Structure 1
Amino acid sequence: MDLDPQLAALGPLGGFFVLRTGVPPRGPLPTLAQAYTAPQISTRKEVYADSVTFRIEKVAESIQAPEARVAVSVAHQALAARLWSVSLGAAALYGQVPDLDPRLLHWDPDSAAPDDLWLSEVRPLPVEAIGEIVRAGHLKPLAAALRSRHRVSTGLLWGNAGSALAGAVRQLDGWARANGRAEVGHRARALAAELLAHPDLSATLDPVTFRRRTCCLYYRVPGGGLCGDCCFTRPPEH
């Protein structure tokens, strides 16, 4: 099935899988390419001038993060989950993926899924491109932007990426089972296995349990506890 201009098949999968297309009703938004390369601006009011910093500060306030790197991790994993979900969902349902070139993908750091991302033009690519689209096209420049501003480890960020990918697969697999679409779950699992074999991601998850090997720091959020795939069995003492 070819990609349609509205990517309508992604709608039933849930908010993290939805990708709006065209121009948002409130007008044009900056691209993720601009977000990854924008110079850091210290004021929270500069929502679009430095959208990465704005998003982190917004997350920090929302979750009452005790330190900046906790908000960085939570914000990073959420965006990684959006990117994996959209691309993997399209690959599993359409047999194609939309070109998520950062220059085509617009981001509103003040909005939640699915209104945070808008694709200005739907260009189909083969499923084999999914790794370059997400890992190389987004996760690497995003990690570089975050590490230029905050003390956060590369291992944590790649751990977030691996965990986000595994979470997208679980969601797709659950939807496939509930809707009698076993082939969708099979394609998602096969694609994820290939993606997780890449050197950037191969050490992020236990290959048997799919528990992550680094902590995302969510346990440090007041009342946060441990994630389902956490490397810890009990929260570490501060």
Structure 2
Amino acid sequence: MPQEPMAATLGRAAAVGPFFSVRTHAGAPRDQGFLPLAELYREGDSPALRNRLETVATRLGTAERRVAASLVHQGLAGRLWSIAFAPAVLAGRVPDLGGDALWWHPERSTPDELWLPAPSPLPSASEEDLTDRLRAAVLQSHLVPLQQAISAVSPISPRVLWGNAASALVGTLRVLHDWCRRTGHREAAERAVALTASLLDDAPLRDCGTLDPAVPEFSRRSCCLYYRVPGGGLCGDCVLRRTGR
């Protein structure tokens, strides 16, 4: 029996919430101000990424570029995890996000900033292979080069950025896990926890924190720097909560 189109799978996953949504219709993304994320990575000191950091810094009222860099990174990491992770959990399929397939608009916010004009799946995976597919789609295609791109426009610790990536993954897990339990998808909820644990058990996320699968809940070993935003505070998984700072 033929599988449904990848666009239909992504559409079903979008029911979880806005962070899990991505445009999938055909069109001309560049004409509307989008650029391929892979192009942003190739640029080195990317003007689009630098402008995005300046915009976010202004909105947050911070003069610290590294704070804006961290929060831009964490937000984009969360979106990347969400659009790949939910189809993996709900349908056993991972979209191919490599190359120039996924487009980003630096001036738009969720859910309108990502566009996948020609969605296709990575090769069919067994349950055991889903972790490898997610690593390929998110970590290798995006988070590794994104870490390098962010570091090129703002001095920031790689430990902070990989902590962000791990925290964003668990944030994705928690939203999807709650949705699965509310909608009666208990096996999918269990699969989501298992996949997350497997992803966190390998480099570069292995030493970023500790997952409590029973909740699920995460304690990271770094800080995203949100507390340095005027009026900001500590995130629920922040290392500073446990150090008393």
1:20-31 equivalent positions in 2, closer than 5 A? 20-21=23-24, 22-23=26-27, 27=32, 29-31=34-36
**Structure 2 residue matching 1:5: 3-state secondary structure:** helix
CA drift at 1:190: 1.1
In 2: Cα distance, 1:65 partner to 1:99 partner: 36
State the Cα deviation string for residues 73-132 of structure 1 (Å, max 9, x = none): 000000000001111111011210110114100000100111110012111123331112
Deviation at 1:206, TM superposition (A): 2.0
**d(CA) in 1 for partners of 2:108 and 2:99?**
18
Cα 1:226–1:29 change in 2 (3 A) is same
Q: Normalised by the size of structure 1, how large is the TM-score?
A: 0.89
Percentage of pairs with the same residue = 41
Q: 2:229 aligns with which of 197, 215, 221?
A: 221
Alignment-derived partner of residue 161 in structure 2: 157
2:17 corresponds to which of 14, 18, 30: 14
Alignment correspondent of 1:80: 77
Shift of 1:66: 3.3
Cα deviations by residue, 1:21-53 (Å, 9 ceiling, x for unpaired)? 133686362100111122536xxxxxxxx2211
CA deviation vs aligned residue, 1:163-200 (integer Å, no higher than 9, x gap): 00000000010001111111221111111111111120
Distance 1:234 1:193 in 2: 22
Q: Does 1:60 align with 2:79?
A: no
Instruction: Please report how far the alpha carbon of residue 220 of structure 1 lies from its aligned counterpart in structure 2 after TM superposition.
Output: 0.3
Task: Answer yes or no: is the 8 Å Cα contact 2:45–2:152 preserved in 1.
Answer: no
Corresponding position of 2:7: 5
How far 1:67 moved relative to its partner?
Answer: 0.4
Which residue of the partner structure matches residue 45 of structure 1?
none
Task: Name the structure where helix makes up a greater proportion of residues.
Answer: 2
Tell whether the 8 Å contact from 1:106 to 1:119 is kept in structure 2 after alignment.
Answer: yes
Q: Tell me the secondary structure at the aligned position of residue 122 of structure 1.
A: coil
Q: How many angstroms does 1:156 deviate by?
A: 0.4
What residue is the counterpart of 1:37 in the other structure? 42
The residue aligned with 2:92 is 95
SS at match of 1:110: coil
Please report how far the alpha carbon of residue 65 of structure 1 lies from its aligned counterpart in structure 2 after TM superposition: 1.9
Query: What is the number of residues matched between the two proteins?
Result: 229
Structure 1's unaligned 5+ residue stretches are 42-49
Gap regions ≥5 residues in structure 2: none
